[in-house]
Amino acid sequence: MAAKAEFIWFNGEIMPWENAQVHVLSHAIHYGSSVFEGVRAYNTPKGPAVFRHPEHTKRLFDSAKIYRININHSADEIMESTRELIRRNDLKNAYIRPAAFLGDIGLGLRANPDAKADVVIAAFEWGSYLGEGSLEAGVDVGVSSWNRLAANTMPTGAKAGGNYLSSQLIAGEAGRHGYAEGIALDIHGQISEGSGENIFIVRNNVLYTPPTTAGILPGITRDTLTILARELGYEVREESIAREALYLADEIFMCGTAAEVVPIRSVDGIQVGEGKRGPITEQIQKMYFGLFSGETEDKWGWLDYVNA
Ligand code: PMP
């Protein structure tokens, strides 16, 4: 994926993509002191709309709060700048990457508490994260030898750059073993999440997803799909899930802003259900993507229209 668009927003200004530069001794480069979001805009019948924009922006500020990173802009300013950037780049569908990080503030680990973060918003086109056709065909995954982070080491509820070292280990190992993605267990051996996605398991028409205490990032897509599945009449339970449930599931799917809703057809080489996208997964996908095509009524006000 070569992320690129004509313009990017950096510290309050829209500028040519190439002009957004940081110093090589930036704090975030050395110590991972960054927080970020992954957001998508979809081309709806009423033009491009950012999905669950306030929730993503809130999570960016929450992540920053946990690490005491000062974002010198309001949430409204970040959201309006995002809409403006989409318009300036003339994007219809977009992946949006806001980030706040400690820049050229000196190299002490104890950053000056008054230091202002550098803030960037990028918006560009990005297709299916787990590959062309993954949404229909599903993917093969493996349980990772790496666990997700322990709660008292780094908080997984913060979407912080440093957490993605764990994700890189999981995703890298999965790739070397021929899997599209790795599923990590938490430090207690229960199912946590993928390197960049939450997970749902379907058994006997009930949906199960690990709780926030399982070392997961509480995903906004996870929340969306929980609401949509309940709307469809399914029971959704947030509970601790044992590894073997992956092998005995009728259906499994992963979800995230970038990955969207991806069926899993095998885990560790063991076929899941019929070994293809299951009917409940398909129904939930249809309802999810229907939000953007207009087939699913947006009762929740989840679409933030860029040209409103
Ligand atoms: N877990 C991790 C580790 C992630 O990086 C992501 C993607 N942001 C998710 C879960 C899914 O979160 P969301 O649905 O909010 O994109």
For the question of residue 286 being annotated catalytic, the response is no
pLDDT in tens, 44-95: 999 999 999 999 999 999 999 999 999 999 999 999 999 999 999 999 999 9
CA–CA dist 44, 307 (Å, integer)? 11
Query: Quick one: what percent of the chain has pLDDT higher than 70?
Result: 99
Same-fold call for 7-124 versus 134-293: no
| Residue-range domain boundaries for the chain | 7-124, 134-293
Residues 6+ apart with CB under 8 A from 153: none
Instruction: Report the nearest atom of ligand 1 relative to the CA of 222.
Output: 14
Q: What is the mean pLDDT of residues 17-30?
A: 97
CA–CA dist 261, 279 (Å, integer)? 13
Q: What is the mean pLDDT of residues 110-129?
A: 93
CA–CA dist 78, 86 (Å, integer)? 12
Token look-up 């569908």 returns 93
Judge whether residue 127 has pLDDT over 90: no
**161 closest CA partner among 59, 55, 67, 28:** 28
| Closest residue to atom 6 of ligand 1, CA basis | 196
201 neighbors 267 (Cβ within 8 angstroms): no
7-124 to CATH, choices 3.40.640.10, 3.40.50.2300, 3.40.190.10, 3.30.470.10: 3.30.470.10
286 neighbors 38 (Cβ within 8 angstroms): no
Contact 161 CB / ligand 1 (< 6 Å): no
Q: What are the backbone dihedrals phi and psi of residue 214, each rounded to the nearest 5 degrees, phi first?
A: -95, 25
| Closest residue to atom 4 of ligand 1, CA basis | 196
SS3 category, 139: strand
Ligand 1 center from residue 107 Cα (angstroms): 29
Q: Which of 58, 159, 276, 286 is catalytic?
A: 159
pLDDT in tens, 133-156: 999 999 999 999 999 999 999 999
Q: Tell me which H or E stretch contains 256.
A: strand 251-256
Provide the residue count of the chain.
Answer: 308
Q: What is the CATH number of domain 134-293?
A: 3.20.10.10
Ligand 1 center from residue 152 Cα (angstroms): 20
Ligand 1 center from residue 108 Cα (angstroms): 30
CA–CA dist 272, 262 (Å, integer)? 13
Ligand 1 binding pocket mutation candidate from 62, 149, 257, 288 (most atoms within 8 A of CB): 257
Average pLDDT, the chain: 97
pLDDT in tens, 237-260: 999 999 999 999 999 999 999 999
Q: What ipTM was predicted for this assembly?
A: 0.99
Judge whether residue 2 has pLDDT over 70: no
Contact 257 CB / ligand 1 (< 6 Å): yes
pLDDT band for 3, please (50, 70, 90 cuts).
confident
pLDDT band for 1, please (50, 70, 90 cuts).
low
Tabulate helix, strand, coil % of the chain (nearest 5): 30, 30, 40
